[in-house]
């Protein structure tokens, strides 16, 4: 396992180092890279919300690169701060929430008329004639 971790780190450095070198020359801060990653993820969430999940998925992958780059840039420029770590973690959760909200909006937009929507504390179920296990979901709906 330790060898696998070392390989993962080496592979990550192989792809991030050239980009970090360019970012270092532009004097962009690691926190700005984090915010740019969030903005790109919001674009992905909008794509997913408007029924373009394939494109949204690729944009999420692209935004994930920024999540790798912010930490690498912080270490390279010796600009590692507690605030940056908290900002990175917080905006990662906000990004995940944005994509989930995009998925929810896509479901709401594309739910055919006549289908009932059941809400639970932990999930959203569009149900109706299209759902083969209607009676099972009705047991769990609030």
Q: Is residue 5 very low, low, confident or very high in pLDDT (cuts 50, 70, 90)? A: confident
Query: What is the structure's pLDDT at 59?
Result: 96
What number of CA atoms fall less than 13 Å from residue 115's CA on the CB side?
21
Mean pLDDT, residues 119-140 taken together: 47
Query: Angle 30-49/53-76 helices, nearest 10 degrees?
Result: 170
Token representation of residue 53: 């999940």
pLDDT of residue 130: 42
pLDDT per residue over 10-40, tens digit each? 887 788 888 888 888 898 999 999 999 999 9
pLDDT at 2: 66
How far apart are alpha carbons 53 and 56 in whole angstroms? Answer: 5
The pTM for the full model equals 0.72
Fold topology of 2-110: 1.20.120
Residue 61: CB atoms within 10 A of its CB come to: 10
pLDDT digits (tens, 9 = 90+) for 56-103: 999 999 998 888 898 889 988 988 888 888 899 899 999 999 999 999
Task: Assess whether 70 carries a catalytic annotation.
Answer: no
Predicted confidence at residue 9, as pLDDT, reads 79
Residue 98 is predicted with a pLDDT of 94
Query: What value, to the nearest 5°, has the Cα angle with vertex 60 and ends 32 and 8?
Result: 85
Catalytic entry in 67, 70, 88, 92: 92
46-60, 87-101, 118-132: which has the minimum mean pLDDT? 118-132
Domain coordinates in residue numbering, the chain: 2-110, 113-142
């Amino acid at each position: 396992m330790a060898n696998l971790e070392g390989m993962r780190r080496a592979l990550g450095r192989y792809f991030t180092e050239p980009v970090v070198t360019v970012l270092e020359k532009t004097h962009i801060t690691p926190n700005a890279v984090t915010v740019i990653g969030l903005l790109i993820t919001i674009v992905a969430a909008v794509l997913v919300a408007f029924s373009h999940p394939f494109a949204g998925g690729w944009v999420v992958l692209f935004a994930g690169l920024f999540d790798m780059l912010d930490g690498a840039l912080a270490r390279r420029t010796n600009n590692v701060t507690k605030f940056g770590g908290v900002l990175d973690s917080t905006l990662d959760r906000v990004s995940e929430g944005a994509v989930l909200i995009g998925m929810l909006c896509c479901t709401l937009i594309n739910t055919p008329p006549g289908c009932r929507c059941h809400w639970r504390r932990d999930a959203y179920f569009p149900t109706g004639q299209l759902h083969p296990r209607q009676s099972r979901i009705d047991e769990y709906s609030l």
